[in-house]
Chain A
Amino acid sequence: MGLPLMMERSSNNNNNNVVELSRVAVSDTHGEDSPYFAGWKAYDENPYDESHNPSGVIQMGLAENQVSFDLLETYLEKKNPEGSMWGTKGAPGFRENALFQDYHGLKTFRQAMASFMEQIRGGKARFDPDRIVLTAGATAANELLTFILADPNDALLVPTPYYPGFDRDLRWRTGVKIVPIHCDSSNHFQITPEALESAYQTARDANIRVRGVLITNPSNPLGATVQKKVLEDLLDFCVRKNIHLVSDEIYSGSVFHASEFTSVAEIVENIDDVSVKERVHIVYSLSKDLGLPGFRVGTIYSYNDNVVRTARRMSSFTLVSSQTQHMLASMLSDEEFTEKYIRINRERLRRRYETIVEGLKKAGIECLKGNAGLFCWMNLGFLLEKKTKDGELQLWDVILKELKLNISPGSSCHCSEVGWFRVCFANMSENTLEIALKRIHEFMDRRRRKEKMIN
Chain B
Amino acid sequence: MSQSANQLLSKLASSDKHGEASPYFDGWKAYDNNPYHPIHNPHGVIQMGLAENQLCSDLIKEWIRKNPQASICTAEGIDSFSDIAVFQDYHGLKQFRQAIAAFMERARGGRVSFEAERVVMSGGATGANETLMFCLADPGDAFLVPTPYYAAFDRDLRWRTGIRIIPVACNSSNNFQVTKQALESTYLKAQETGIKIKGLIIANPSNPLGTSLDRENLESLVSFINDKQIHLVCDEIYAATVFAEPKFISVAEIIQEMVHVNRDLIHIVYSLSKDMGLPGFRVGVVYSYNDAVVSCARKMSSFGLVSSQTQSFVAAMLSDQRFVDNFLVEVSKRVAKRHHMFTEGLEEMGISCLRSNAGLYVLMDLRQMLKAQTFESEIALWRVIINKVKINISPGSSFHCSEPGWFRVCFANMDEDTLQVGLERIKDFVLGDKASKNENYNCICNNKRENKKRKSFQKNLKLSFSSMMYDEHVRSPKLMSPHSPLLRA
Contact = CB atoms under 8 A, between A and B. Distances in A.
Nearest to B291: A5
A152 B139 CA distance: 11
Given A94-B61, A294-B87, A10 B261 contact: yes
Interface in A224-277: 242-244, 274-275
B307 A323 contact: yes
A317 interface: yes
Interface string A201-245: 000000000010000000000000000000000000000001110
A99 B52 contact: yes
B33 to A, nearest CB: 16
A313 B303 contact: no
Interface string B266-303: 00000001000111111000000010110010011011
Contacts, number: 279
Contacts of B87: 293-294
A111 interface: no
B148 to A, nearest CB: 21
Contacts of B464: none
Interface string A71-86: 0110011001111011
Nearest to B273: A101
A13 B229 contact: yes
Interface in B309-346: 309-310, 313
A99 B280 contact: yes
Contacts of A95: 54, 57, 61, 277, 475
Interface string A82-110: 11011010111111111111000000000
A10 B227 contact: yes
A295 B9 contact: no
A452 interface: no
Interface in B1-20: 1-2, 4-6, 8-13, 18, 20
A327 B305 contact: no
Contacts of A5: 264, 290, 292
B88 A294 contact: yes
A304 B18 CA distance: 18
Interface stretch (B121-129, B351-359, B373-381, B480-488): B121-129
Contacts of A76: 72-73, 78, 81
A296 B305 contact: yes
A147 interface: yes
Interface stretch (B130-138, B181-189, B385-393, B431-439): B130-138
Contacts of B134: 22, 24-25, 173
Interface in A409-448: none
A294 B61 contact: no
A360 interface: no
Given A98-B277, A173-B160, A322-B280, A291 B85 contact: yes
The bracket for how many chain A residues form the interface is 35 or more
Contacts of A295: 85, 307-309
Contacts of A322: 280-282
B175 interface: no
A348 B253 CA distance: 55
A154 B202 CA distance: 34
Interface in B135-169: 135-139, 141, 155-156, 159-160
A83 B73 CA distance: 8
B81 A149 contact: no
B88 A293 contact: yes
Interface string A58-70: 0000001010010
A46 interface: no
A321 B227 contact: no
B229 A19 contact: yes
Contact of A23 (B138, B156, B273, B299): B138
The bracket for how many chain B residues form the interface is 35 or more
Interface string B70-87: 111111001001101111
A324 interface: yes
Nearest to A154: B10
Contacts of A8: 260, 262
A319 B82 contact: no
Contacts of A90: 61, 65
B64 interface: yes
Contacts of B462: none
A21 interface: yes
A319 B123 contact: yes
A275 B5 CA distance: 6
A327 to B, nearest CB: 6
B308 A294 contact: yes
A198 interface: no
Contacts of A136: 123, 282, 303-305, 307
B124 A319 contact: yes
B459 interface: no
B11 A151 contact: yes
Interface in A283-319: 287, 291-297, 304-307, 310, 313-314, 316-319
Contacts of A345: none
B18 A313 contact: yes
A56 to B, nearest CB: 19
A64 B86 contact: yes
B97 interface: no
A275 B3 CA distance: 8
B68 interface: yes
Contact of A296 (B6, B86, B307): B307
Contacts of A100: 279-280, 472
A279 interface: yes
A321 B309 contact: yes
Interface stretch (A137-145, A369-377, A397-405): A137-145
B319 to A, nearest CB: 18
Nearest to B122: A317
B61 A97 contact: no
A322 B229 CA distance: 40
Contact of B475 (A96, A310, A327): A96
A92 B262 CA distance: 48
B226 interface: yes
Contacts of B296: 21, 25, 30
Interface string B35-73: 000000000000000001010010011001100101111
A11 interface: yes
Interface in B215-261: 226-231, 260-261
Contacts of A128: none
Given A11-B260, A94-B61, A147-B12, A321 B280 contact: yes
A99 B10 contact: no
A173 B81 contact: no
A183 interface: no
A407 B366 CA distance: 67
Contact of A96 (B12, B308, B473): B473
Contacts of A383: none
Q: Which 3 A-B pairs have the closest CB atoms?
A: A322-B280, A294-B308, A321-B307
Interface of B: 1-2, 4-6, 8-13, 18, 20, 52, 54, 57, 60-61, 64-65, 68, 70-75, 78, 81-82, 84-88, 123-124, 126-127, 130, 134-139, 141, 155-156, 159-160, 226-231, 260-262, 264-265, 273, 277-282, 290, 292-293, 296, 299-300, 302-310, 313, 472-473, 475
28 contacts: A19-B262, A21-B136, A21-B293, A72-B85, A73-B82, A76-B81, A77-B73, A82-B74, A91-B61, A95-B54, A96-B473, A101-B282, A147-B12, A147-B160, A173-B134, A278-B1, A293-B85, A293-B88, A294-B84, A295-B85, A295-B308, A296-B88, A306-B1, A317-B126, A319-B124, A319-B282, A321-B282, A324-B310
